[in-house]
A = this chain, B = another copy of it.
Amino acid sequence: MKSFTRSKQRKAARQSARHSRSVTKHLAKKAGQPPGTLMYIGDASDEEVRISLLDYDPDGLKELTDARVEDILPYRQSPTVTWVNVDGLHKTDVVKSIGEYFDIHHLVLEDVVNTTQRPKLEIYDRNLFITLRLIRFDEEADEVRSSQTSLIVGENFLLSFNQHEERMFDPIRERLREGLGRLRGGGADYLAYALVDLVVDNYFVIIERLSEKIELVEEELITDPQRETLRTIHGLKTDMIALRKSVWPMREVINRMLRSETPFIKDSTRPYLRDVYDHTIHASEIIETSRDIVSGMIDIYLSSVSNRLNEVMKVLTIIATLFMPLTFLCGWYGMNFKNMPELNSPWGYPAVIGVAVLTVVGMLTFFRRHGWL
């Protein structure tokens, strides 16, 4: 159990600090740059940038993987729904070219390559721009990590830009290929809904991981609280804060999608969005509740430290209270006065033994009465 908290947590605490620092460092770098410059803001990456394309209607589906930017152009014109997915944003010229093909506002493109955004929805005349944060649990660092995915929903097309290569959307691709459910029949807005739904459902996976950790720590708190336990609780709290930062604004994003009067969201999709909206509400409530529980754990921890101090002090007090009078007694008859009649009396020693025994019994009775034994 101890191994759970100790080594991992210390490592995690450092990484967490380093991470949050790097986020602001990126942004700080941007200060003084003219607006309109397409500048990648995020962790350096040497992954390949990959473009894939899915073009479908209820009757058929075409797929391109590892496409070049030029390959996409013809699909733009077609009446079928076109989903262009870009994994990796550090090569901004790719984003720029695609943005020009699909006629995207350059401020949107700037936001796409700035991976430190909070979830938001922006409604433009020609499309809808949604920023999402994907959360995963980094097993090695034992902490919550987030990356950014941007969706641009237009007439018959959806562009998704992922900060890293994203396998999370694979189930959607599979369902599209197999033509199951409503996905092929729905438009680009229904596809956007399906992706958002996936992202939100994934929050519950992370929440479950944290709940498991909470359970472990609660167990540890009851059986054997350690110095490291508080640090783990602090780590949980920090994770909760990070999670909350991603989930909370999603409520507003989805609510605004739900209520916006843009043509890019069809009425038939709205009930589904209402459903996702309920899920985000639910997720944020669980997070709030967990935060309350974690806060309560700190109280328990602090009181357990105090209780332990009390116990230590009781042992000390019992020992001192037992032996100090006895030591005094011995010291008394260890004095070298010539005329101490007791020393010569034959009853002196037995009497002292008696007094000692009585003292011990008396003390023990006192302790028992005060509930210290």
Instruction: Please give the residue numbers on chain A whose beta carbons come within 8 Å of chain B beta carbons, in ascending order.
Output: 10, 13-14, 17-18, 20-21, 23-25, 27-28, 30-37, 105, 107, 110-111, 116-118, 120, 122, 171, 175, 180-183, 193-194, 197-198, 201-202, 204-205, 207-208, 211-212, 214-215, 218-219, 222, 227, 230-231, 234, 237-238, 241-242, 245, 271-272, 274-275, 278, 281-282, 285-286, 289, 292-293, 296-310, 312-317, 319-340, 342-344, 346, 348-349, 352, 372
B316→A321 contact, CB < 8 A: yes
B325→A330 contact, CB < 8 A: no
Taking CB atoms, residues of chain B closer than 8 Å to A310 are 305, 308-309, 312
* C-alpha spacing A118/B38, complex, angstroms: 33
Known: A245-B285, A302-B302. 7 other contacts (CB 8 A): A35-B272, A105-B271, A324-B327, A329-B331, A336-B340, A338-B343, A339-B348
Contact A319 B319, CB 8 Å, known A197-B35, A278-B120, A335-B334:
no
Taking CB atoms, residues of chain B closer than 8 Å to A21 are 208, 211-212, 215
Cβ 8 A contact of A327, one of B36, B181, B327: B327
Q: List 17 A-B contacts (CB under 8 A).
A: A20-B211, A27-B208, A30-B204, A32-B198, A35-B197, A35-B275, A105-B271, A230-B303, A231-B300, A234-B296, A242-B289, A302-B306, A305-B307, A328-B330, A335-B336, A337-B342, A339-B346
B298→A299 contact, CB < 8 A: yes
| Interface class of chain A by DSSP | helix
* C-alpha spacing A184/B281, complex, angstroms: 37
* C-alpha spacing A352/B51, complex, angstroms: 84
Taking CB atoms, residues of chain B closer than 8 Å to A208 are 21, 24-25, 27-28
Taking CB atoms, residues of chain B closer than 8 Å to A274 are 122
Contact A337 B348, CB 8 Å, known A24-B204, A292-B241:
yes
Chain B min CB distance to A277 (Å): 10
Cβ 8 A contact of A319, one of B182, B281, B312, B324: B324
Cβ 8 A contact of A333, one of B120, B275, B336: B336
B337→A330 contact, CB < 8 A: no
Taking CB atoms, residues of chain B closer than 8 Å to A231 are 222, 300
Taking CB atoms, residues of chain B closer than 8 Å to A122 are 274
Taking CB atoms, residues of chain B closer than 8 Å to A302 are 299, 302-303, 306
Contact A324 B321, CB 8 Å, known A299-B230, A312-B310:
no
